[in-house]
Structure 1
Amino acid sequence: MFRLEEEFRLLIERGGESFETTRSYNNGNGELTEDNSNLLFDDSDEDDHDYSDSEIPVAQRLSNYDVIIDALPSGIINDLHEIAKRMVVSGSGKECSHVYSSFRREFLEESLSRLGLGKLSNEEVQKMQWQELEDEIDKWIKAANVSLRILFPSERRLCDRVFYGLGSGSDLSFMEVCRGAVVQILNFADAIAIGSRSPERLFKVLDLFETMRDLMPEFEFNFSDQYCLVLRNDALGIWKRLGEAIRGIFMELENLIRRDPAKAPVPRGGLHPITRYVMNYLRAACRSRESLELVFEESVNVVPSKDSTLSSLSVQMTWIMELLESNLEVKAKIYGDTALCSVFLMNNERYIVQKVKDSELGLLLGDDWIRKHTAKIKQYLSSYQRSSWNKLLGVLRADSSPVAANVGGKSMSMKDRIKAFNSQFEEIYKSHSQWIIFDEQLRNELRNSLYNLVMPAYRNFIARFQNAPDVGRHADRYIKYTLEDIGTQINELFEGVNGSAGGRK
């Protein structure tokens, strides 16, 4: 019996040396393509065939894929089958399976190594810098696809041919051949799943999650027998843990928003970095909307919503938006100027709405959300006007007497009123021209609103001023700004440049 075992060993080793098992695992770019990622075997049902000893099933080549499924020459496979049959009959089936499994296991280990997948322990993965891990994840995705779509099906086919008709020998040998490689693949994914929840990791963890999702049918197909049940269950468990990791990353994003301090105000009432970061982050995340829907539907800890029609992902996104807006409202209070506070909120809310409208976020949050927050922008605009321009308009407002207006409890003559207007307008222009409205459309809307608010009042005031008895023919001495000057300088507001109001020359 030792002679048969040695003959079996020499034959399988010689077959491996003389046969080119894989010419290429990819399409030339190191990536699997949709057209060539599926293994194509004989289309007919194996159960319908009555194979004789010399008619063992033969795998077909992949179409549009430079890979040969048969890992050994057909003649050697037939010889191995004959020896295996004799060893099983003589009671040496375990020895035969051990020899076979040892050799093929080495082949898989070498294949994974050539694909760039190293044997990393959990501790080694946790200690790696994220940039290094990103490279390892890319290698893992390639190796996992090749293994599940090509290598493992090839080994399954080879086992079925060598141990055809020999009971459970095929299933046991296949499990022994593939177990180490499967564990190596799953251990890396598991190490990522239980690792850091830093928000920067989301997109690569999503890549892992989606790869595992796409490969679950391959796990089910390749490891369908009872001996491989533990491998299937492990794969399913790690896929679910990757989903848990994604939910954990979103929780960490929430914490990041909550903890972002309200320190120095953003200069000129501009866009806050946290707004830009969160909105671009969510937009990028929602490109994987289908995967995120799947992840959050599995969660039992999603923030409750009054609207039961919203998906779990929609609820999650709505909650993050509420956290962001609450954080911005706290930051707005740092500004000592109420008008500048309104400009800050206007800028950030506008950015939020625009990012929502032109992305998947709009579909998740819905039209009602967009309308509600567009209305908030208008509220901030009105607040800005009230806090900065009402006092100025109070100076200009019509009065039953052309001689005086009551401002601050004091009676003012027409001359005092135009002096007060000149001073206040110059002060507003000087400060507000340094403030910024980053969105051109919003900037123009605000300028037009101010123009329609100020110009009619100023025009009426100038007409009354020129006819006032105490002014007479000397009106031009007091009128610092023409109507054209006012319009020009309103159109220079919110450019973020140093302003100096200049009247008519």
Structure 2
Amino acid sequence: MQLAMKRLQREFHQILSVNRQYLDAESVSRSSATRSSYSDFEEDESEDEFRAADQSVSEMDRALTIAMTDLKAIADCMTSSGYGKECVRIYKLQRKSIIDETLHHLGVERLTLAQVQKMDWEVQELKIRNWLNAVQVAVKTLFYGERILCDHVFSSSVSIKESCFHETSREGAKNLFGFPELVAKCKKSPEKMFRILDLYEAISNLWPEIEYIFSYESSLVVRSQAVSSLNMLGEAVNTILADFETAIQKESSKTPVPGGAIHPLTRYVMNYISFLADYSNVLSNIVADRTRILESPLPESYHGSPESYEDAFSALLAWFILVLLCKLDGKADLHKDVALSYLFFANNLQYVLVKVRTSNLKLLLGDDWVTKHESKVKKLASNFERMGWSKVYASLPENPAAMISPEQARDCFKKFNTSFDEAYRKQSTWVVPDQKLRDEIKVSVAKKLVPAYKELYDKFSAGLRREFGSETLIRYAPEDLGNYLSDLFFGAEVRGVYRHLIRVVGIAIEIWAVIIISHCRFQAPVLCDKRNT
């Protein structure tokens, strides 16, 4: 019996060694995907039946099937004869080395918290990206295939197959699922948020497979490690979100943005929030407590009550935008010109709206949120127009059809010239980055200004020139106003480039005109001769 068992031991070891290329986890898991799991085979199924069912598979799968069948036959024989420990020892040594070697090739390292904390973020991020690729292969192929192989070879004993799988996979699996926890324990910062969410999402998505593969009682330590990493990652996310809100509230720059353009804080916050919206499924599970949000003393006039959101994450995003808008409201007061403060706020709110419309934020915040803020942009633009152009409007007669004296008309032209020059001079350096908002403001001003001025101009321009003989009194023709208005809100630098471009195009047109005229003059005698002929 001893000689027979030693012979089987050697045979068992040889099959594991020689067929290593066929017994790799990828081949086992692939084979299992095309056929029923090997663990589902009954003990009383004969080898002939097993082989007959496998006639349609490839040569590699046949070799795998034969090897697994022989391993199972030897394991059953040795276990029933009281030599199960010897068989298990050989299996553990062989298979554990394969798992450790595969994880090493996947780039999974055994790291300590101190080692991870000392890494630069670029190095740490590289290891996170590598881990995200490795965990997919490790769970869906490596550990899954090992579980199938172990369950098949030792199907005659539940305790033995559990013990074998636990011993071969425990160390590698704990090391694999422990890495995200180490990352979560490192220093938190907003730029790390999305990699932490990637780690959380990877474990969360793989959890059904993890729970199935490591379902044995002895594998509880592996499941616990995966859960611990999820919890730590969730805590890290909540910490970063709290720090992000605090950073918005504490932003203390006192320098007005030139021309009332988009504030850097607006760009940063909205870009960050729009990226967060791409992780809505993950963050909805992490962000569950809205008590802190609902108890905040900040006003709700910008978007309505956060209580209207059933999803805590949607409420949190609306809250972040509310905090941003309250901050921008204070920064608008840094502009000494009241009209410019309205324009600054309108620009920034329009930027917020565009970011919401063009990202997943719209699905999370809803159409009502967008509608409310669109009306607020229109109101801000209207206030800007009222403060910025009221003097120009007031310089023209309230009723253009009413008869006024030439002296009154002269005073209207003088007041108009002064007020329009002042408005144009100030607003020529202001900027409206959004084309739609820029066009809406210009059209609104033009509708109120140009028709009233044109009627005044048509009635009195000729007479005033004859009577007073001053060309400087009537400085603008009606069509000039449209040209001046079209030149506004591009900012000083852009407007300079725009004018330079117009000059270049004008020169080019003149050159082409000269060339064409010269060419026509040269060709004219020839054409005349041809016609005469």
Question: Under a length normalisation based on structure 1, what TM-score does the superposition of the two structures give?
Answer: 0.82
Q: Aligned partners of 2:89 and 2:483: how far apart in 1? A: 90
The residue aligned with 2:418 is 423
Structure 1 residues 349-380: Cα deviation after superposition (integer angstroms, max 9, x where no partner): 11111111122111111111111111111111
| Structure 1 counterpart of 2:230, from 225, 239, 243 | 239
Moved more, 282-291 or 318-327: 282-291
> Could you say if the C-alpha distance between residues 302 and 403 of structure 1 is closer, same or farther in structure 2, counting changes exceeding 3 Å?
same
The residue aligned with 2:95 is 104
Q: Does 1:483 align with 2:478?
A: yes
Cα offset for 1:216? 0.6
Structure 1 residues 250-294: Cα deviation after superposition (integer angstroms, max 9, x where no partner): 222212222322222222111122222222222223223222223
The residue aligned with 2:111 is 120
Q: Does 1:284 align with 2:275?
A: yes
Q: Does 1:269 align with 2:278?
A: no
| Structure 2 counterpart of 1:303, from 293, 296, 301 | 293
Cα offset for 1:142? 2.0
Cα offset for 1:467? 9.5
Q: Aligned partners of 1:76 and 1:8: how far apart in 2? A: 11
Moved more, 374-383 or 102-111: 102-111
Q: Does 1:397 align with 2:411?
A: no
Q: How does 1:292-441 map to 2 (within 5 A)?
A: 292-296=283-287, 298-299=288-289, 303-304=293-294, 306-398=306-398, 402=404, 415-441=410-436
Q: Does 1:185 align with 2:176?
A: yes
Structure 1 residues 311-341: Cα deviation after superposition (integer angstroms, max 9, x where no partner): 1111011001101111211222211111211
Structure 1 residues 479-498: Cα deviation after superposition (integer angstroms, max 9, x where no partner): 11121222211121112137
- Equivalent pairs, count: 481
> Could you say if the C-alpha distance between residues 381 and 78 of structure 1 is closer, same or farther in structure 2, counting changes exceeding 3 Å?
closer
Could you list the runs of 5+ residues in structure 2 that have no partner in the other structure?
A: 295-304, 497-533
- 1:307 aligns to what SS in structure 2? helix
Residues 260 and 343 in structure 2, CA contact (< 8 A), matched pair in contact too: yes
The residue aligned with 2:42 is 49
Q: Does 1:154 align with 2:145?
A: yes
Q: Aligned partners of 1:240 and 1:55: how far apart in 2? A: 50
- 2:492 aligns to what SS in structure 1? coil
The residue aligned with 1:30 is none
Residues 433 and 496 in structure 1, CA contact (< 8 A), matched pair in contact too: yes
Q: Does 1:137 align with 2:128?
A: yes
Residues 108 and 181 in structure 1, CA contact (< 8 A), matched pair in contact too: yes
> Could you say if the C-alpha distance between residues 477 and 45 of structure 1 is closer, same or farther in structure 2, counting changes exceeding 3 Å?
closer
Q: Aligned partners of 2:61 and 2:138: how far apart in 1? A: 12
Q: Aligned partners of 1:325 and 1:22: how far apart in 2? A: 62
Q: Which amino acid aligns with 1:482?
A: A
> Could you say if the C-alpha distance between residues 75 and 51 of structure 1 is closer, same or farther in structure 2, counting changes exceeding 3 Å?
closer
Q: Which amino acid aligns with 1:303?
A: I
- 2:33 aligns to what SS in structure 1? coil
> Could you say if the C-alpha distance between residues 68 and 422 of structure 1 is closer, same or farther in structure 2, counting changes exceeding 3 Å?
farther
> Could you say if the C-alpha distance between residues 79 and 422 of structure 1 is closer, same or farther in structure 2, counting changes exceeding 3 Å?
same
Residues 309 and 315 in structure 2, CA contact (< 8 A), matched pair in contact too: no
Q: Aligned partners of 2:403 and 2:488: how far apart in 1? A: 33
Q: Aligned partners of 1:465 and 1:268: how far apart in 2? A: 37
- 2:476 aligns to what SS in structure 1? coil
Cα offset for 1:413? 6.1
> Could you say if the C-alpha distance between residues 236 and 246 of structure 1 is closer, same or farther in structure 2, counting changes exceeding 3 Å?
same
> Could you say if the C-alpha distance between residues 375 and 423 of structure 1 is closer, same or farther in structure 2, counting changes exceeding 3 Å?
same
| Structure 2 counterpart of 1:458, from 453, 456, 462 | 453
The residue aligned with 1:256 is 247
Residues 274 and 361 in structure 2, CA contact (< 8 A), matched pair in contact too: yes
Residues 302 and 312 in structure 1, CA contact (< 8 A), matched pair in contact too: no
- 1:40 aligns to what SS in structure 2? helix
Could you list the runs of 5+ residues in structure 1 that have no partner in the other structure?
A: 28-35, 405-411, 501-505
- 1:252 aligns to what SS in structure 2? helix
Moved more, 490-499 or 363-372: 490-499
> Could you say if the C-alpha distance between residues 471 and 320 of structure 1 is closer, same or farther in structure 2, counting changes exceeding 3 Å?
farther
The residue aligned with 1:408 is none
Q: How does 1:214-229 map to 2 (within 5 A)?
A: 214-229=205-220
